[in-house]
Structure 1
Amino acid sequence: MPNILFLCSKNKLRSPTAEAVFCNIDGWEVSSAGISRDAEVHVSLEDIEWADYIFVMENAHKKKLSKKFGSAINGQSVISLGIPDDYEYMDQELIDLLKSKVPAYVK
């Protein structure tokens, strides 16, 4: 069962949407967090160690993640989805983007 972590800046719109979209997929454990200091839920070392797959919304998130947790990111796949901060929580277009991108990476 893969553990999947979704990250964005503040954990308010994109990553919580991803968690909501994929939380009922059989065999997937999902969680979300934010990278910024003012995030609703901050990403922790435990989150990084728990995750088999880490999805970030933008390349900038991947850079921040590597800077903060570089040595802890061992065998996990860190995938940038290229989804800008242009969407509201549960925006249908955001949901469609997530559904079209994420499953292709999870084995």
Structure 2
Amino acid sequence: MLFICSQNRWRSLTAERLFDNRPDYMARSAGTEPGARVRVTAGHLGWADTIVVMERKHADYLRQKFPDAVEGKRLVILRIPDKFQFMDHILQELLRERLTEHLGVEW
């Protein structure tokens, strides 16, 4: 599972960390902006079976920049705004709730 946000500093990195000790999932994260901690590439997208973005603009970016790499992939938009810090408790709860809703992830 690949998590995408803008800067790969707060939301997507928090989502990746939630899966660190889970043997049933492999998770990575990246960002869409030039200054992202890890900037998304076609290689990241090729690795992932499921791509989870925080906002619609991230999905639009991926479809525009990497159309071949996202074709046929499961793309989930969580609709989580950019207003949380890394590992914020409310962010973690939102991620768990939305990942359960969209992907059936059990915690």
TM-score using structure 1 length: 0.91
Identical-residue share of aligned pairs (%): 38
Partner of 2:95: 98
Following the alignment from structure 2 to structure 1, what is the Cα–Cα distance between the partners of residues 98 and 31?
20
Choose which of 2, 5, 9 in structure 2 pairs with 1:5: 2
Partner of 1:31: 28
Following the alignment from structure 2 to structure 1, what is the Cα–Cα distance between the partners of residues 32 and 3?
10
Partner of 1:51: 48
Do residues 72 (structure 1) and 53 (structure 2) align? Answer: no
**SS in structure 2 of the partner of residue 29 of structure 1:** coil
Q: Which runs of 4+ in 1 moved over 4 A?
A: none
Cα RMSD after superposing both structures: 1.3
Following the alignment from structure 2 to structure 1, what is the Cα–Cα distance between the partners of residues 41 and 29?
11
Following the alignment from structure 1 to structure 2, what is the Cα–Cα distance between the partners of residues 101 and 46?
26
Alignment check: 8 A CA contact 1:9 1:61 kept? yes
* 1:24 counterpart letter in structure 2: N
Aligned residues: 104
Do residues 85 (structure 1) and 82 (structure 2) align? Answer: yes
Relative to structure 1, the CA distance from residue 53 to residue 72 in structure 2 (aligned partners, 3 Å threshold; closer, same or farther) is: same
Unaligned ranges ≥5, structure 2: none
Q: Aligned-pair distance for 1:74?
A: 2.5
Do residues 60 (structure 1) and 74 (structure 2) align? Answer: no
